[in-house]
Amino acid sequence: MTKRYDRPARVLILGPVTIDSAEATETRLSVQLRKVMALLAENREVPLTARYIVDRVWDDDAPDSAVQMVRNHVRMIRRLAGGQGEAVESIRGGYRLCLETDADRFRSRALQSRLLHEAGRLRESLAAVTEALALWRGSEAMTGVRDVLDLEIAAHRLEEARFRAEELAAQCHLRLGHPQEALPILHSMTIRYPSRELPWLQLMAAQASIGRRVEASNETFPQARYHLVEQTGLDMPLLNRFHQELLRGAEAAALLSLTGFPRVPWNAGARGDM
- Of 65, 100, 135, which residue constitutes the final position of a domain? 100
Task: Give the orientation angle of helix 149-175 with respect to helix 179-192, to 10 degrees.
Answer: 150
256 touches 264 (CB < 8 A): no
pLDDT in tens, 93-107: 899 999 999 999 999
Instruction: Count how many domains the chain has.
Output: 2
Higher pLDDT, 73 or 270: 73
- Report d(CA 147, CA 109) in Å as an integer: 29
- State which amino acid sits at residue 10: R
Q: Choose one of 71, 100, 129: the last residue of a domain.
A: 100
Q: Tell me the sheet residues that pair with 16.
A: 143
- Indicate the pLDDT class of residue 82, thresholds 50, 70 and 90: confident
Res. 40: pLDDT tops 90: yes
Q: Among positive and negative, which fits the CA dihedral 62, 17, 109, 6?
A: positive
- Residues spanned by the domain of 219: 177-274
| 102, 105, 106, 112 alpha-carbon torsion, rounded to 10° | 180
CATH number of the CATH domain containing 17: 1.10.10.10
Taking the C-alpha atoms of residue 192 and residue 236, their distance in angstroms, rounded to an integer, is: 20
> Is 110 part of a structural domain of the chain?
no
What DSSP string describes 40-52?
HHTTTTS-EEHHH
Residues 183 and 272 both lie in one domain? yes
State the Cα–Cα distance between residues 66 and 118, nearest whole angstrom.
49
pLDDT tens-place string over residues 121-168: 999 999 999 999 999 998 899 999 999 999 999 999 999 999 999 999
pLDDT at 139: 87
Check residue 271 and give its pLDDT: 33
**pTM (predicted TM-score):** 0.85
Q: Which of 100, 120, 144 is the last residue of a domain?
A: 100
